[in-house]
Each structure stands twice: as C-alpha cells, then as structure tokens.
Chain A
Amino acid sequence: MTDDKFLGEFEQVLLLAILRLADNAYGSTIRQLLSEQINRDVTIGALYTTLERLEKKGLLTSTLGEATAERGGRAKKYFEVSAKGHQALKRSKSALVTMWNGLALSTLHGQGSC
C-alpha cells in the first residue's frame, strides 16, 4: 500500500485544466475553462487557495510571466503540472477506474451492483 495520498476531486479537475491549457495556464484562463467545460464557477480566491496547496505538495510548478496593461501592469502566474503531479493524476484515475469497473449508476439503488 502506498503512502501517497489520493487527489481530491477539485484538485484533479484543476490539474487536468492546467494540462489542457498547456503553456497558457494561469488564474483567468483556468477559471474560464472550468466555467465553460464543466459549468463550475469558482472564485479566484478558491482557485488560488487550491493552486497554492498543490504547489506546496510539489504537484505543480509556477513561473511569473509578462505584465499587460489590461492587468494593470501586473504579471501573470503560469502553472505547469510537475512529474509528481502526473503520477498523482494517473494514480487517482487508476483508483477511480478500478472502483467504477462493473458498476452502473442506474443499478446502484436497491441492488448494490450489476
């Protein structure tokens, strides 16, 4: 049994969003992607709280980018999923696939399994 903890649902969603955005993953684009793709409107505060936590765990790395006029001259903070982050995602996906295997939601109520 591994000592590594599994990712939370929102943590997985954020890591996947960053992978999808590739080299354009920063606060605004991540927030917009979550809103467009899974209809999840998160505040910028909630987003950065989780991003900071993932970075502290070593699952993400960040770099400061360019400052633009529409940002009031403030720099962007770009995020990238680290090798440890990739491993954590694979582990979480594998665990979920294993647990879902052989189950269908419509049969869960009353019968327990199919």
Chain B
Amino acid sequence: MKKEKPQSLRLPPTLPTRFLSWCLPNVLKVPVLGDLAEEFNQKSSEHKGQAQANHWYYRQCLRSGLQFLWFHRRGLLMFIFSFIAFVLLTLWAMWLGGEISMFWNFPSLLLVIPPAVLFAVGATSTNALKVALSLMLDDDEIPTSNQAKITTRLFSVMGNSALLLGALMTVLGWISMASNIESEAFANVFGPAFAVSMLTTMYAIGFKIICYVAEQKIQYKFDKKSALDF
C-alpha cells in the first residue's frame, strides 16, 4: 500500500529544536519534540501563518529548555561556572600583581597546550578524546568501566604532559638566557626574560588544574553509577 505524504508538512526551526533536545533528558526527547512538531504543524496551517508558528515554537523551546537546563545539565553548568570563576580569580590575581598584559604571551601558550593535547591523543586515541568531550558535555551519558579508565587516562596524560612541557620550556628559556645575556645588559634584560620564561610553567599549571577537574568529574560519574548498581 502506498503511503500518502501530507502536502502542508513543515519542519520546525532547527536551532531551538537542537537547544531543547540538548536540555531534555533522553527519555523525554521523543515525546516532547514530537508534541512540539505536531502543534507547530497545526499552527502553521492555521490562518495566523508561519511567522506566528515560528514565534510560538521559539518561545516553547526556550522556556521549556530553561526549565530542564538546570535539572539535567547541572554537572556541566557547575563545571562552566567553576571554570569562569577560576579565570576571573586568576585575572584578578594578575591585576593585583601589575598589568595583565605582562602575563600574556601567545607563543608560550602554543608551546604548552597544543603539544599536550597531541601527546594525550597519541597516548590514547582520537576516539578517546571524542568520548571524553561527550562525557563532559552530556550529563546523561554515563561512562562504562573501560570508557572511564581511558578518558581519565587521557586527561591525566594531557595535564601531566602540559606540566612537563611547561617545565621544559622554562628550563630552555633559562639556558638561552644564560648563554646570551652579556654582563653589561644583565640588569635590564634578566628580569623581563626570566618572567617570560616562567609563563610556560604558569600556563601549564593552569591547564593541569582544568584537566585534573575534568578527570575527577568523569571518575565521579563512574563511581556514582557503580554505587547505584551496587
């Protein structure tokens, strides 16, 4: 038997659908998004038209999404809030120490973070990185025993590699300073050169803190699941 496709079928806007889908727990995604799509189609075919249907759909998705956001994405939101608090406190400490610009050196950042991420992927796999990011972003996703082991190892390697790279680059800077600074210029050059050489270590410690928290977050999710199973 041939199925007839309704002529006036319209797809709801993608962006609010994605937002609501992200906010909803897995068990409610199908019925809630289905109900909204059904009502959206009814409203689109009414005389009020497409614009009003879109407006109604955006409002429903935004308000419903915000209702579910705190209950189902609490872990991620707390991680983001703690990260923002960490950045703001660090900036405040920098501001107290003088100009913030003296703590910023893009090449130093490049020497630490990208190689640390590459080392971590090299020690585990690109799939481990994908799973780790997915576990961080999705509170509903619970790691299996293997996933927990691999992803915590990934963050451990990432953080420790960053620390070692930071220390290495700092020592490299010191060797370079010791080899090149002439005695006449020592008083003027040593201070700024020493400060720049320490920046890689500072960035590495900051990155290690973030990796440590991410590692503990995944371990906590796994331990919580294990405790409930027990």
**Chain A residues at the B interface, C-beta cutoff of 8 Å:** 26-28, 31-32, 43-46, 48-49, 52, 64, 67-72, 74-77
Contact = CB atoms under 8 A, between A and B. Distances in A.
Contacts of B63: 43, 45
A71 B67 contact: no
A44 to B, nearest CB: 5
Contact of A74 (B5, B37, B60, B67): B37
A37 B5 CA distance: 32
Contact of B60 (A26, A43, A76): A43
Contacts of B65: 45
B121 to A, nearest CB: 36
5 tightest A-B CB contacts, nearest first: A45-B64, A74-B34, A27-B35, A77-B31, A71-B34
Interface string B48-73: 00000000000010011111100000
Nearest to B36: A44
Contacts, number: 72
Contacts of A75: 30-31, 34
B142 interface: no
Interface residues of B, number: 24
Given A48-B31, A75-B31, A70 B64 contact: no
B33 A48 contact: no
Nearest to B30: A74
A45 B16 CA distance: 14
Interface in B1-16: 5-6, 9, 11-12
Contact of B37 (A26, A52, A70): A70
A112 B112 CA distance: 76
B31 A70 contact: no
B32 interface: yes
A69 to B, nearest CB: 6
Contact of A71 (B5, B28, B35): B35
A44 B5 contact: no
A45 B33 contact: no
B5 A69 contact: yes
A50 to B, nearest CB: 11
B67 A26 contact: no
Nearest to A49: B67
A31 B32 CA distance: 12
A71 B37 contact: yes
A49 B32 CA distance: 11
Contact of B32 (A27, A32, A64, A69): A27
Contacts of B30: 64, 74-75, 77
B39 interface: yes
B53 to A, nearest CB: 13
